[in-house]
Structure 1
Amino acid sequence: MSLAWRGGRVMVASGCGGTGRELAAYADLAGLDFVTRSITLDPRPGSPGPRIAETPSGLVNAIGLQNPGLEHFLATELPWLVRAGARVHVSIVGSTLGEHADLARRLSRAPGVSGLEVNLSAPDQAGEGLFETREPFHAASVVAAVRREFSDDRPVLAKLRLDPSRAVETSRLVHEAGATAVVLGNALSAAMPDGRPGGLTGPAVAPVALRCVRDVCAVLPDLPVVAAGGVASPDDARRFLAAGAVAVQVGTALLHDPTTVARIAEALSRGET
Structure 2
Amino acid sequence: MEYVKTADNGRPDMRVNIGSLQLENPVMTASGTFGYAREFENLMNLHRLGAVIVKGISLHPRQGNPPPRIVETACGMLNAIGLQNVGVDRFIAEKMNYLAGLNVPVIVNILGDSIAEYEEITVRLQGVPGVAGIEVNISCPNVKKGGVAFGTDPKMAASVTAAVKARSKVPVMVKLSPNVSDIGAVALAVQDGGADSVSLINTLIGMAIDLKTRKPALANVIGGLSGPAIKPVALRMVYEVAKKVSIPIIGIGGIETAEDALEFMLAGATAVQVGTANFINPRASEDVVDGITAYLMKEKLPSIRSIIGQLELS
TM-score using structure 2 length: 0.80
What corresponds to 2:11 in structure 1? none
What corresponds to 1:10 in structure 2? 27
- Give the whole-Å Cα distance in 2 for the aligned partners of 1:243 and 1:84: 30
What corresponds to 1:185 in structure 2? 201
Picking from 201, 208, 230, the partner of 2:254 is: 230
**1:139-154 equivalent positions in 2, closer than 5 A:** 139-151=157-169, 154=170
What corresponds to 1:62 in structure 2? 80
5 and 149 in structure 1: CA distance in 2 versus 1, 3 angstrom threshold: closer
What corresponds to 2:125 in structure 1? 107
The letter of the residue matching 1:213 is V
2:181 is the counterpart of 1:157: no
Determine what percentage of the aligned residue pairs are the same residue: 37
What corresponds to 1:213 in structure 2? 238
| Alpha-carbon distance, 1:192 to partner | 4.3
What corresponds to 1:172 in structure 2? 188
Stretches of structure 2 lacking an aligned partner (at least 5 in a row): 1-17, 210-214, 299-314
164 and 45 in structure 1: CA distance in 2 versus 1, 3 angstrom threshold: closer
- Give the whole-Å Cα distance in 1 for the aligned partners of 2:102 and 2:110: 21
| Alpha-carbon distance, 1:266 to partner | 1.6
TM-score using structure 1 length: 0.91
| Alpha-carbon distance, 1:77 to partner | 1.0
Q: CA RMSD in A?
A: 2.0
| Alpha-carbon distance, 1:19 to partner | 1.7
Answer whether contact 1:96 1:130 (CA < 8 A) is retained: no
Answer whether contact 1:114 1:155 (CA < 8 A) is retained: yes
What corresponds to 1:44 in structure 2? 62
Radius of gyration: which is bigger? 2
2:149 is the counterpart of 1:132: yes
What corresponds to 2:212 in structure 1? none
The residue matched to 1:223 in structure 2 has which SS? coil
131 and 100 in structure 1: CA distance in 2 versus 1, 3 angstrom threshold: farther
| Alpha-carbon distance, 1:165 to partner | 3.3
| Alpha-carbon distance, 1:200 to partner | 0.3
Stretches of structure 1 lacking an aligned partner (at least 5 in a row): none
Answer whether contact 2:92 2:128 (CA < 8 A) is retained: yes
- Give the whole-Å Cα distance in 1 for the aligned partners of 2:257 and 2:237: 20
- Give the whole-Å Cα distance in 2 for the aligned partners of 1:171 and 1:64: 25
The farther-off stretch of 25-34 and 47-56 is: 25-34
- Give the whole-Å Cα distance in 2 for the aligned partners of 1:164 and 1:267: 33
